[in-house]
Amino acid sequence: MRIGLITADPDHQLLADTTDLLTPRHEVVALDPGGHGAGAPDPVPPGELADVYLLKARTPRALALARSLERAGAPVVNSAAATARCQDRTAMAGLALSAGLPFARTRTLRSCAALAAERLRRPVVVKSRHSRRHDLVARVDDAAQLRALSADWADEPVVVQDFVPNDGWDHKLWVIAGRVFAALRRSELAAGGRGPALPLAADALPPGWLEPVLRVGPVFSLDVYGVDLIDAGEGAPLIVDINAFPGIRGQAGAPGELAALALRVAERGRGRRPRPYPAGAEILGESRPK
């Protein structure tokens, strides 16, 4: 089998450990989508497509590359469309709430400056509408804080959620093909910084929390995803974020689940005729006869 990794960082722990499990019996190919622009990816030269691609990067170019591979007939996990839904927090909230998931109520404004023109009646959480590295996520308690935030992010499209009092801990749940991994981590909104993730057994979650997390997969068409939840009071879960293909560092068994998922998806497409590798493919492991 040939397994492709769409990533600028094939040495990421999850991907590196998964590669170690897949090789030497299978071939792993890394594709760096390059840059953060929305330009079209390089054309496909002669060669062969991988049997499946794991879409770890979420930049516009990575999504464009994934779409081109899908058009060529290669399966991509997660699909470009499913990944894009998780990059737009407005679309994310709308889909989650329409499906009845316990997601934070969310409204969208064209800019942070537009929010600053409103009268703030209660503490809110302000986030960039479009999820990306180093985006805006901040708690705002009063008009002065809002004005300060707008000074730095005036033109940023934002979503706004009412701040829900909680204990300051995020329950971070990650799912690979239905298997759940979990940890606790201080919220990025909490004083004192986030700190390391603390181990948490999935069966130690409050009653009823797994059901909405597992529903996220089919609702968003995701096979590999992360869900951040807080306790909204009396043990009620509230989803505050959903991520396509998160890092899942330090979770025993996660690389094995990801390798098994890649091989299952690849096996379903083995009947395809050989197709080209995209430009810039880097072979990380050599295939050998089974």
Secondary structure class of 185 (helix, strand, coil) = strand
Q: For 39-51, what is each residue's pLDDT tens digit?
A: 555 644 435 789 9
Q: For 187-200, what is each residue's pLDDT tens digit?
A: 888 776 677 788 89
Q: For 90-133, what is each residue's pLDDT tens digit?
A: 999 999 999 999 999 999 999 999 999 999 989 999 999 999 98
Which residue's structure tokens are 């600053």?
A: 116
Instruction: Return the structure tokens found at 24.
Output: 């030497």
- Give helix then strand counts, H and E, for the chain: 8, 14
Predicted confidence at residue 43, as pLDDT, reads: 46
Provide the whole-model pTM: 0.89
What is the Cα–Cα distance from 257 to 251, expressed in whole angstroms? Answer: 11
Inter-helix orientation angle 80-87/60-71, to 10°: 160
Say if CB 4 and CB 41 are below 8 A apart.
Answer: no
β-sheet with 169-176: strand ranges across: 198-199, 179-186, 169-176, 224-231, 237-244
Say if CB 88 and CB 130 are below 8 A apart.
Answer: yes
Predicted confidence at residue 196, as pLDDT, reads: 79
Predicted confidence at residue 289, as pLDDT, reads: 38
